[in-house]
Chains A and B, each alone.
Chain A
Amino acid sequence: MTKETKQRMAVLQGTLDMLILRTLLYGPAHGHQIGKHIQRTTNDFLQMQHGSLYPALHRLERRGWVASKWETAPDRNRDFKYYRLTEKGRKQLAIEESQWKQMMEAVARVMWPVAEEG
């Protein structure tokens, strides 16, 4: 593995986790569904390979933010590994969301400054 992949992943990592957690707020989903959902909602803006989801999913599971279970998909009649948000994951989502908001505001204040008092 080369250095570059790692760096790219590191940049993505923070937001990807948040996006996955947010997606799971709608209810349990398997990896493919999560990927599709993120892609669709961002109008294919986030050109990501579904593959990069799995390391993230397993990381989230290890931290106890999501739980997984093999279940039969109603439309396909086959087993898929469904991920579900845990209580801990819900809290984490709130934290990440507020952090992301703060960061956006901070970035915005630099990029589009408004006149401040004094």
Chain B
Amino acid sequence: MRWWQFGKRSADLERELRADLQLEEEEQRERGVPPEEARYAARRAFGNTILIREQTHEEWGWAIFERLWQDILYATRQLRRSPGFSIVTMMTLALGIGATTAIFTLVYDVMLRPLPFSEPDRLVNIQEIAAEWSNIYPTLPVSANHFTFWQKNNRTFESMAVMQQGSAPLGAEGRPLQVGVLAATPGIFSVLQVQPWLGRAFTAGEAQPGSDHVAVLTYSLWREQFGGDPSIVGKTIRLNGFPYSVVGVMPKSFRIPSVQTLATIGETNRPSPIGVLEPLAFSKERLAEQMGDLNYFGLARLRPGISLAAATADLDALQHTISANLPADEKATLSIALTPFQQELVGNNRKPLLILLTAVAGLLLVGCMNVTNLLLARSVGQKQQMAVAAALGARRAELLRMALRETAVLAGAGGGLGILLAAAIIPAMQQYLPPALDFRGPLRLDWAGAICALALALLAALVAGAAPAFMVSRTAPNEVLHSESRLASESRRNRRARRVLVGVEVAVSVTLVVMTGLLTASLIKLMRVDRGFTTQRTVTATVDLPRMAYPDDQHRAAFYKQILEGMDRLPGVEHAAVTSVLPLTGDSWGDMARVDGDNRPVTQLPLESFRSVSPEYFSTIHLQLLAGRFFGQSEWGRNVALVSEKTAKSLWPGKDPVGLRFSRGDRTKEGPFTVIGVVANARTISLAKPDPMLIYVPYWYRCEPVAGLVVRTRQDPAEMANAIRQTIWSVDRSVPIPTVRSLGGLVADSVATQRFEMDLLLLFATSALFLAGIGVYGVVMYSVTQRYREIGLRIALGAQRRSVYQLVLRDGLLPVALGAAAGVVIAFVSARVVQSLLYEVSPYDPAVAAGAVCVLLAVGTAACWLPARRAASVEPMRVLRME
């Protein structure tokens, strides 16, 4: 029997009973009983129809649902009678549950959701450790030379691959498009255990220089750019200007996270999603480089049953062999670091996410406490009702049910609204996913989230409803019914419970406020830090040159020279420059510097970050010149360099470096560089820490196909975007310009994650404060209402209004003060956890803690003020006459 047949069945039973009852009545009448009496006799013979109906329903096996439905109806009716209470409670729960669900979904997506590959727990990321460099780079990407050796000799891996992620212009004519390209060794398909859906994977033979122009497309690129052409396999596409033959299309479900390596890592770089897989081919020279090519992301699949430790031991042994065979001037002690792929992707995003989750759970807790509080106050009003029910024989379990049903309905409604709220916020959180993990498609509320919300609603109902239900179910009918009903007052226990709840609310709120304060102070400091460069009226753009038309430094430099000349001709442009990497978008090219006379092996040389820039770069971003001069176009072709102050002090301590020389560590054929100037230290990699040693070389020495442009203007930079694009395209239509952004925007982007965390915490803390305020208000208001007579009496006996205020404020602020103290203690105890997220702010910052306590006291006082005013305005005569 199904529930939707219930109505039909009910009507049927009704009809049956009526027919039979009528028959009985008729028979009675036929026996000569007067009609009026006949009806009663029939009823008597029949029995209690309501009971019959109920018992029959029970036979249908729906009694539980029916009772549940009745409970819901009853509770809804009761709640409608106090809309204020119901709405506040529901909204509180909805906010808590919705926010917690949203954050949980984010955390789940980042940390728990299995990667979309077969047996993802067997996937590990391989990194190398060179003991000599481990103080600067704890781990390094993999070298092609070492990888080849491991691949031949390991015993613990099923398959291995190395890869490098980049981007390239796709197509030749028309508006060029930048796509993400993953160049990988053919092992990638067996490592990830996916095969192309159309066509085939590339072969080992195709991973050789000269035959490597084959491509496997992702499903979405194939759909969007090639209209889902079913005969794409075998056709030729243009990538980087070169013709590539398409050999396959990946399945629709194939998605791969960004695997950018050290060379291109930037915390805020959001790489173009990978659209093309191409073979990674190593030239002979590259394979021969024993220590110079640590550039690739290593990914491997463990054999079944092999532990991480066993695999590490296996590769460590191989690393030992490699180390032993290194030439003298490249001596290094190598070892291996294996990390589960997922963990590697989550990286350092773990902690902030967990803190957010804890904070939002704190908000939910405050919400539950508040609801408990309201329910407790309400339970006093229900005492009478419960006492009557108990006196009429309701059992304890039934009383409990009566007490819990409202809470359950509220929690159910709150949970439902919470789910809606979560569904609405979750898509907006997509942009806050760490770039490496933003590859699974749109983030939305899914089963995990919905289950979380339901579990939270249930938990909230239990947590918030348990105490009031317990109090109510212990009703002693005699006591309640005998006491004067209008004086029905809160028991001492109840009152204490409510104060403790307010205390807990305040404690959690203070903790949240302290955390928020710390992160805010930290972010403010970060934004105010002396960056060493300026951002006013400066626009940036990135370009991605097709490798075919721009195969080497000469061609690229010529192109950049041409567009810079074009920019300089634009009205309103003050300075325009090109740089290998834009400020705060990551680091690039690291290399060793060998000062004249230094003969140490290359692995012991100091490591510097190199930038190749055009002469105007320094003036464009106002990077200050400390000594010497900038380079000029007239020095085209000469190996000159500027160094940062830090480099100058480290490489030439106590000397003026201008005029001195150094060469790149790996003994390249090029002649040495002459230092012509020293520029100030800056923070162009991360706002949080000063740059490492930087060396600026002119762009005619070296140019990458991907570069950034910075343009300082005299007018609104927003208007420049189009002019910049047109200038670039007037030189070459086929160059994609993936981003145009103001330099200030780049700075803001670099702290976007912190800002996001701070914004969320701020939201949580404000909500918690608000709820705590309501909690305090509720408790104080209630106790004032209860004490009208007492207060009236006091005033009648000569108490000053001022002392009434004091009375109420003292009463209300005591739990606030205790709670605030407890909150500060909690915040200090958990300080260690947030420490690593803070920038130049101590987690024990007294100003922040004091500020938080003041805020809470202010909120508490504000919440007490209204009840206090009400109390002070009591008219003694009126109140005393009331009873």
Contacts and interface: CB of A to CB of B under 8 A. Distances in A.
Interface stretch (B46-54, B315-323, B691-699): B46-54
A79 interface: yes
Contacts of B13: 54, 58
Contacts of B51: 1, 5, 51
The winner among A1, A30, A58 for most chain B CB atoms within 10 A is: A58
A101 interface: no
B16 A81 contact: yes
B47 A49 contact: yes
A42 interface: no
Nearest to B9: A58
A52 to B, nearest CB: 7
Contacts of B58: 55
Contacts of A55: 52, 55-56, 58-59
Contact of A32 (B20, B48, B59): B20
B20 A50 contact: yes
A16 B19 CA distance: 22
Contacts of A59: 59
A76 interface: yes
The winner among A54, A76, A81 for most chain B CB atoms within 10 A is: A54
Interface residue range, chain A:
20 to 34
Interface residue range, chain B:
20 to 34
A34 to B, nearest CB: 10
A62 interface: yes
B152 to A, nearest CB: 73
B59 A52 contact: no
Given A59-B59, A62-B61, A81-B16, A51 B49 contact: yes
A54 to B, nearest CB: 5
B390 to A, nearest CB: 14
A32 B12 CA distance: 16
A51 B45 CA distance: 8
Contact of A79 (B1, B19, B24, B56): B19
B329 to A, nearest CB: 91
Nearest to A49: B47
A59 B20 CA distance: 18
Nearest to B44: A49
Interface string A16-51: 000000000000001110000000000000000111
Given A31-B16, A62-B61, A54 B393 contact: no
Contacts of A109: none
A49 B45 contact: yes
A36 to B, nearest CB: 8
Given A49-B46, A51-B47, A52-B47, A58 B20 contact: no
Contact of B48 (A2, A51, A78): A51
Given A50-B47, A51-B46, A51-B47, A80 B54 contact: no
Given A54-B16, A58-B59, A58-B60, A1 B54 contact: yes
Contacts of B45: 49-50
B16 A2 contact: no
Contacts, number: 63
Tell me the interface secondary structure of chain A in the complex. Answer: helix
A32 B52 contact: no
The winner among A9, A50, A59 for most chain B CB atoms within 10 A is: A50
B23 A32 contact: yes
A95 B759 CA distance: 74
B17 interface: yes
B24 to A, nearest CB: 6
Given A2-B393, A32-B24, A62-B1, A80 B19 contact: yes
A80 B15 CA distance: 9
A58 B1 CA distance: 12
A49 B17 CA distance: 13
A12 B60 CA distance: 19
A79 B393 CA distance: 41
A59 B47 CA distance: 18
B47 to A, nearest CB: 3
A71 to B, nearest CB: 11
Contact of B52 (A1, A54, A80): A54
Contacts of B49: 51
Given A54-B17, A54-B52, A55-B52, A76 B23 contact: yes
Nearest to B58: A55
B589 to A, nearest CB: 80
Given A2-B393, A51-B47, A78-B19, A58 B56 contact: yes
Contact of A30 (B20, B26, B52, B61): B20
A69 to B, nearest CB: 11
Interface string B595-630: 000000000000000000000000000000000000
A56 B15 CA distance: 17
A62 B47 contact: no
A31 B159 CA distance: 78
B46 A62 contact: no
Contacts of B24: 32, 50
Nearest to B26: A76
A12 to B, nearest CB: 12
Contacts of A56: 59
Interface in B509-528: none
A115 B49 CA distance: 51
B19 A62 contact: no
Contacts of B56: 54-55, 58
Contacts of A31: 16, 20
A40 B52 CA distance: 22
Interface string B181-217: 0000000000000000000000000000000000000
A50 B52 CA distance: 10
Contacts of B15: 81
A23 to B, nearest CB: 15
The winner among B17, B23, B393 for most chain A CB atoms within 10 A is: B23
Interface of B: 1, 12-13, 15-17, 19-20, 23-24, 26, 45-49, 51-52, 54-56, 58-61, 393
Interface of A: 1-2, 5, 9, 30-32, 49-52, 54-56, 58-59, 62, 76, 78-81
- Top-9 shortest CB links A-B: A51-B47, A49-B47, A55-B55, A51-B52, A32-B20, A59-B59, A81-B16, A58-B59, A55-B56
23 contacts: A1-B54, A5-B51, A9-B55, A30-B16, A31-B20, A32-B20, A32-B23, A50-B46, A51-B46, A51-B48, A51-B49, A52-B47, A54-B16, A54-B17, A54-B52, A55-B56, A55-B58, A58-B13, A58-B56, A58-B60, A79-B19, A80-B23, A81-B12
Given A50-B45, A51-B52, A78-B19, 10 more contacts: A2-B393, A31-B16, A49-B45, A50-B47, A51-B49, A51-B51, A55-B58, A62-B60, A81-B15, A81-B19
